Amino acid sequence: MNSSKDHILSKIKSIQREVKPLPEIPGFDIDADLKSLFIQSIKLNKGEVISREEFKGLLAAQTFLKVYSRVEGFLTYSNMDLPEDPHHLSELNLAIVKGRFGVAENGAIWFEDEDLGHRALPFITEHLVVVLDSKDLVANMHLVYNRIGQDRSGFGLFIAGPSKTADIEQSLVIGAHGAKSLRVVLE
């Protein structure tokens, strides 16, 4: 037995406490246009919601040397395979991944291991494009956890915008350590 574990647990047990019940969590669902709310949230997070046409326009206008896509219907944009070692993604310019759910109230998009290939992918890439089905939008965090349920993915992730910081005099800078941009292709 781990003696520190026993020590801590027995110390806690020795403390007289009144048992407090757990509250029920309501869904707090709202009657709103989830799509427009989601678009607005992503914008506030300094991301951008675009159409597939606009995405094509982006690729035409901007050069992404290394592109890796894991999304059905977007696979042709890939010009590399997933390397075995995520360190080899360090030169990646664009990653295209599929989001499972989008949360309208804050723009958060849910991913699991399968969606990412490597957990490092959406962070190490210079730019990130997420493909999301608008039928996978939910109003808020309570409802998205209901949808996620008890999925057994080893890693789960909400991304809500591009990497950012305000650590220098509270000036917002986009592109700290992770992806410098987030674009959501909402279909």
Partner 1 sequence: MSHPEQAEEFLKDKANAKWHDETLWFVRDKRDAVSKTVPEWEELRELASKIKDDVLSKLEIYLVDFETNALANGIQVHWAKDAEEHNQIVLGILEKKKCKAIVKSKSILTEECHLNPFLEKNGIEVVDTDLGERIVQFLNQPPSHIVLPAIHLKKGQISDIFHEKLHTEKGNDDPYYLTQAARIHLREKFLKAGVALTGVNFGVAETGEFVVCTNEGNADMGVHLADVHIASMGIEKIIPKREHLGVFLRLLARSATGQSITNYNSHFRSPAPGKEIHIILVDNGRTEQLAREKFRSSLKCIRCGACMNTCPIYRRSGGFSYGSTVPGPIGSILSPGMDLKKHSSLPFASTLCGSCSDVCPVKINIHEQLYEWRQEITKAQSSLNAKSISMKIANGIFSVPFAYNVGGNMMRGALKFLPDSLTYSNLNTWGKERDLPEVPKESFKDWYKKNQK
Site for partner 1 in 33-62 (CB under 8 A): 41, 44-45
Q: How far is the CB of 81 from partner 1 (least distance, A)?
A: 18
Give the three-class secondary structure for 10.
Answer: helix
Q: Which of 95, 129, 159, 185 binds partner 1 (CB under 8 A)?
A: 159
List the interface residues with partner 1, window 110-149 (CB under 8 A).
Answer: 113, 118-120, 123-124, 140-142, 144-146, 148
Q: Is 67 in the site for partner 1 (CB under 8 A)?
A: no
Is the CB of 13 or the CB of 53 nearer to partner 1? 13
Tokens linked to 82? 């997933």
User: Which among 90, 103, 106, 62 is positioned nearest to 179, based on CA atoms?
Assistant: 90
Q: CB-based contacts of 175: which residues, under 8 Å, 6+ apart?
A: 162, 163, 164, 181
183 contact partners, CB below 8 Å, separation of at least 6: 47, 48, 49, 50, 55, 58, 127, 128, 129, 130
Measured from the CB atom, the residue of 72 and 169 that comes closer to partner 1 is 169
The Cβ-side half-sphere exposure at 8, using a 13 Å CA radius, reads 5
Q: How far is the CB of 134 from partner 1 (least distance, A)?
A: 19
Nearest CA to 185 out of 79, 39, 67 is that of 39
Determine the interface stretch with partner 1 among 53-61, 74-82, 93-101, 176-184 (rule: CB under 8 A). Answer: 176-184
**Can you name the residues that pair with 184 across neighbouring β-strands?**
49, 130
Contact region for partner 1 (CB under 8 A) — 3-11, 49-57, 60-68, 70-78? 3-11
Judged by CB under 8 A, the chain residues 6 through 25 that form the site for partner 1 are: 7-9, 11-13, 15, 17-23, 25
- Tokens 């800078």 sit at which residue? 173
Q: Decide if residue 102 touches partner 1 (CB under 8 A).
A: no
Does 176 sit near partner 1 (CB under 8 A)? yes
